[in-house]
């Protein structure tokens, strides 16, 4: 049986196609070697559990690695200090039995009456001093209990013992403790729901920074696809496919594997650029995709987060990428955003962006009704998208519905309305994405593909005649970088000074530009 692409649970190189994580593992191994306590805090489905399993598999000869998880403990485990200590002791003993440790070590956790965190501290010392190897403890899904005071007390005990190692000896406590979860335990004040209790003083401030890059880069994706190709022999262009996958995912581990799995299992293993786009569309819709489901839940539960992402996605707002800002820190923790080359905040990847566009677009259409309907014939002629007709029809509909309107949503959501208008026209065959490098509060370059044809549409907000020429310069320059001769410029004039201008083709810097003013 050949290997598969995996998107659920931990990855196993014997059963799954994987990127080479050796460089990341070496960085983690170095932290363990130095006796550091740290948290692998990354977004959902980012490879945390796979890394913990690799630690156990690779380092068990040198260390006694004890893999724990707080998944499914439930509130009852934290009902009292005695129940927490009993639960923790039981987990430790069970894993020692499964690891076939000697009865004396197991007995330290099974014997005696321990009912407090102080009692647990003494057991930890007795256990570590009885071990012949340094003890490394990993705890997965640790943030599921991070808002519980008993958990904070447990971390406080570990911190105190960590600080006392210099005078008591390294075997006074665990050699290294590795926590894994979405939330950074050093910053427990970050809670998703705004009405939740906030913790501002984390006892995990002794933890080392975890700066390991866990995203997949194009050459790593290519290595994984090369392993697959050696088994399946599809004849794919590995370099081109790898770069296309990276373009849409920015290396988010789950998204990379999900695209590969969809192409392999649902798209008949036809590794084409078009099928990469098709897989992207399947993921962005969010059906049976827990990552997209989480995105939906998180922005529904946090209005500030939703408004923040809306301002970036739709309005091209630029924020400094700073962890001093709690909402930036929250969005970064979920990997919804990343830092661009200018130190500004952008959406992490095009799949999240597509999902957010659909979310905000549907929300806008529900709120505004069906004023902007795309259902008119002749958008597609002889299998080719008639983009001139698309932008002209959009302009006409906007004028018909909002010519006399004073509704404030237009300036805020004009570009979103165009994308919402375009979506059903190209749905099923076409695809669009916003070029990240051209997004700001004045312009947004939209790349639209339809049946292997590509169209460039610049969406621009009117800021005067000077900026009109600048917009043409920008669009013609962008067309040149993509080797194209024609583009479309849709300008939103909220001052209503130029809305009567008729759509027209113009020649500009050797390019043909179709201009529409809304």
Say yes or no: 181 and 69 in one domain: yes
The b/e string for 158-193 (b: 16+ C-beta within 10 A; e otherwise) is bbebbeeeeeeeebbbbbbbbbbbbbbbbbbebbee
Q: In what order do the strands lie in the sheet with 486-492?
A: 430-434, 443-450, 453-461, 486-492, 511-517, 504-508
Say yes or no: 182 and 230 in one domain: no
> pTM, whole model, 2 decimals?
0.89
Cβ(256)–Cβ(283) below 8 Å: no
Say yes or no: 274 and 401 in one domain: no
Say yes or no: 175 and 225 in one domain: no
Say yes or no: 518 and 406 in one domain: yes
Total number of domains in the chain:
3
Helix 350-368 and helix 238-249, axial crossing angle in degrees, nearest 10: 50
Say yes or no: 32 and 176 in one domain: yes
Cβ(498)–Cβ(462) below 8 Å: yes
| Residue 87, in any domain of the structure | yes
Scanning 99-232, the segments in alpha helix (DSSP H) are: 103-110, 117-130, 149-163, 165-168, 218-232
295-341 pLDDT, tens digit per residue, is 999 999 999 999 999 999 988 888 999 999 999 999 999 999 999 99
Question: Residues 6 or more apart from 198 whose CB is under 8 A from it?
Answer: 188, 189, 191
| Residue 90, in any domain of the structure | yes
Say yes or no: 156 and 225 in one domain: no
Say yes or no: 480 and 435 in one domain: yes
Mean pLDDT of 350-358: 94
Instruction: Give the per-residue pLDDT at 492.
Output: 87
Share of the chain above pLDDT 90, in %: 66
| Residue 107, in any domain of the structure | yes
CATH assignment at residue 70: 3.40.50.300
For residue 204 the two structure tokens come to 């995990």
- 136 vs 462: which has the higher pLDDT: 136
Say yes or no: 253 and 379 in one domain: no
118-150 pLDDT, tens digit per residue, is 999 999 999 999 999 999 999 998 876 666 788
Nearest-5° angle of CA 251, CA 353, CA 491? 135
Say yes or no: 142 and 274 in one domain: no
**Full domain range(s) for residue 477:** 370-518
Say yes or no: 145 and 32 in one domain: yes
Say yes or no: 159 and 250 in one domain: no
Cβ(109)–Cβ(127) below 8 Å: yes
Instruction: Give the per-residue pLDDT at 142.
Output: 85
59-83 pLDDT, tens digit per residue, is 999 999 999 998 877 778 888 999 9
| Residue 403, in any domain of the structure | yes
Strand, coil or helix: 397? helix
Distance, in Å, from the CA atom of 59 to the CA atom of 56, rounded to the nearest integer, reads 6
Instruction: Give the per-residue pLDDT at 463.
Output: 75
* 14 pLDDT higher than 90: yes
């Amino acid at each position: 049986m050949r290997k598969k692409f995996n998107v659920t649970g931990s990855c196993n190189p014997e059963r799954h196609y994987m990127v080479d994580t050796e460089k990341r593992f070496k960085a983690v191994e170095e932290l363990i070697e130095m006796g550091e306590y740290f948290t692998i805090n990354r977004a959902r489905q980012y490879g945390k559990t796979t890394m913990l399993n690799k630690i156990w598999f690779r380092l068990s000869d040198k260390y006694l690695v004890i893999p724990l998880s707080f998944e499914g403990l439930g509130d009852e485990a934290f009902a009292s200090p005695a129940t927490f200590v009993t639960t923790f002791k039981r987990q430790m003993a069970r894993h020692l039995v499964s690891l076939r440790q000697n009865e004396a070590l197991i007995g330290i956790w099974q014997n005696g009456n321990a009912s407090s965190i102080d009692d647990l501290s003494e057991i930890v010392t007795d256990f570590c001093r009885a071990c012949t190897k340094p003890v490394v403890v990993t705890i997965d899904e640790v943030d599921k209990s991070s808002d519980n005071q008993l958990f904070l007390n447990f971390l406080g005990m570990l911190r105190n013992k960590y600080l006392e190692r210099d005078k008591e000896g390294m075997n006074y406590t665990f050699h290294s403790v590795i926590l894994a979860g979405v939330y950074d335990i050093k910053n427990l004040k970050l809670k998703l729901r705004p009405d939740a209790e906030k913790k501002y003083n984390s006892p995990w401030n002794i933890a080392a920074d975890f700066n390991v890059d866990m995203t997949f880069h194009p050459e790593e994706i290519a290595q994984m696809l090369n392993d697959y190709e050696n088994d399946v022999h599809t004849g794919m262009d590995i370099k081109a496919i790898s770069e296309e996958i990276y373009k849409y995912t920015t290396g988010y581990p789950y998204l990379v594997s999900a695209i590969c799995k969809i192409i392999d299992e649902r798209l008949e293993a036809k590794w084409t650029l078009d099928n990469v786009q098709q897989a992207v569309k399947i993921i962005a819709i969010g059906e049976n995709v827990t990552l997209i489901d989480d995105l939906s839940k998180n922005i529904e539960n946090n209005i500030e987060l939703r408004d923040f992402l809306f301002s970036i996605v739709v309005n091209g707002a630029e924020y400094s990428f700073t962890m001093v800002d709690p909402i930036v820190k929250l969005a970064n923790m979920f990997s919804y955003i990343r830092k661009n080359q200018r130190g500004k905040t952008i959406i992490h990847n095009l799949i999240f962006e597509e999902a957010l566009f659909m979310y905000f677009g549907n929300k806008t259409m529900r709120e505004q009704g069906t004023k902007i309907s795309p259902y008119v014939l002749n958008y597609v002629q002889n299998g080719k998208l008639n983009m001139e007709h698309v932008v002209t029809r959009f302009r006409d509909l906007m004028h018909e519905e909002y010519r006399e309107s004073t509704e404030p949503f237009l300036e805020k959501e004009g570009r979103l309305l165009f994308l919402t208008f375009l979506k059903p026209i190209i749905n099923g065959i076409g695809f669009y994405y916003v070029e990240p490098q051209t997004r700001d509060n004045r312009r947004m370059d939209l790349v639209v593909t339809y049946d292997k044809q590509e169209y460039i549409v610049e969406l621009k907000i009117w800021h005067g005649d000077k900026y009109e020429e600048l917009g043409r310069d920008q669009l013609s320059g962008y067309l040149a970088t993509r080797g194209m001769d024609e583009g479309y410029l849709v300008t939103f004039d909220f001052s209503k000074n130029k809305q009567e201008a008729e759509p027209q083709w113009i020649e500009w810097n050797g390019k043909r530009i179709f201009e529409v003013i809304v």
